Amino acid sequence: MHHYEKIAAAIAYIHAHHTEQPSLDEIAAAVHLSPYHFQRLFTEWAGVSPKKFLQYISLQHAKGLLAKDHTVEQATFETGLSGTSRLHDMFVNLEAMTPGEYRNGGEALTIRYHFMDTAFGPMLAAATEKGICSIAFADDRTAALEDLRRQWPQAKFLEEVSPFISSVKAYFEEMEQDTAKAKNEKAIRLHVKATPFQLKVWEALLKVPAGQVATYARIAEQISHPKAARAVGTAVGDNPVAFLIPCHRVIKSTGIFGGYHWGPVRKTAILGWESARNQPLVLTAAEE
C-alpha cells in the first residue's frame, strides 16, 4: 500500500499554510493521523522524514539545483547510473508513430490498457503492438479511460496486460524497492504520436536525471532552438506518457515548480521523492 492519498493531502496542507510553517503535529492532524503514525507513513513512502522532505521541495533547494551550470547531457553523465530512476532513463526507447499508424483515429490499432497502483497514485497504462502509447494518472478511472478513448476513437480497446505494460509495472515496483539496477535491463519501448519538434523535446526530457531539474529555456537550448522556450512549454504539456517521459522535472527559472497536467501537488510529491532518493541536499540543515 502506497498511502499516496495521505501524502498528497499532507503536501496540499503544507502548500496552503506554508507562510505559517506548520509543525509535524499540525500536518498530522490535518490528515487525521497521530504524529507518530504520520511520521512513520511519510518516512516509509519518501525514504526521509517529513522535516527533511520539506527541504527537498523548498524554493532554496530548487534554486540550488538550477544554479549548477551544467547542461542536461553533462548532468546525465556526471550522475551516472547509481539510482534506479537514472538507470531507467537510459533504458527508455522513444519511437514516434507514422502518420498511417494514427490516421482515422487509430482505426487499425489495438490498444491494451491496465490500471496500476504506484507510489504517486493510480495510473492507467496503454500500449499498442509496438510499445507504450499513453500513461496517465487515474484518480478517476472512468474519466481517465474516457480520455484515452477520445484520443483514439476508432481503435479497438482490450483491458489486459501486454508485455509492454508488464515492463512498466515491473519498473515501478523495482523503482520503489531500488532493485531496478539488477532487473530492469530491457528497454521500455514507447510508441507515441509526436511531431519532430515534440520528439526532440521529449528526448531531451529523458536526459534530465531523477533528482535534477531543468528550465524550459535550457531544454530549448539543448534541442538547438534557444528562442523556442514557449514552444517547448507546449510540447512538455502535451507529453502523453506521465513519469516515464519526465515532464515533471521541468520547472520555472525562478525555482518555482510551476504547473503540471496532473496537478501541482503531485508534481511536488514526485520531485521531492526523486530528490530525496537521488540528490544530497543543496542547503545545509540540521539532521534529525
Catalytic residues, by residue number, are 247
Residue/partner pairs of 194-203 with CB below 8 Å, 24 or more apart: 194/96, 194/97, 196/96, 197/223, 197/225, 197/228, 197/231, 197/235, 198/235, 198/238, 199/94, 199/96, 200/225, 201/232, 201/235, 201/236, 202/94, 202/235, 202/239, 202/245, 203/94
One-letter identity of residue 6 = K
Instruction: Copy the grid coordinates of residue 286.
Output: 540540521
Asked if 47 contacts 276 with a C-beta cutoff of 8 angstroms, the reply is: yes
Residues near 101 by beta carbon (within 8 Å), at least 6 away in sequence? 108, 109, 128
Q: Exposed, middle or buried, 233 (CB in 10 Å: 0-12/13-18/19+)?
A: buried
Smallest CA-to-CA distance from 39 within 7, 1, 5, 2 is with 7
SS3 content of the chain, % helix, strand, coil (to 5): 50, 15, 35
Asked if 189 contacts 93 with a C-beta cutoff of 8 angstroms, the reply is: yes
Instruction: Copy the grid coordinates of residue 254.
Output: 525562478
One-letter identity of residue 282 = V
Smallest CA-to-CA distance from 165 within 201, 202, 204, 124 is with 124
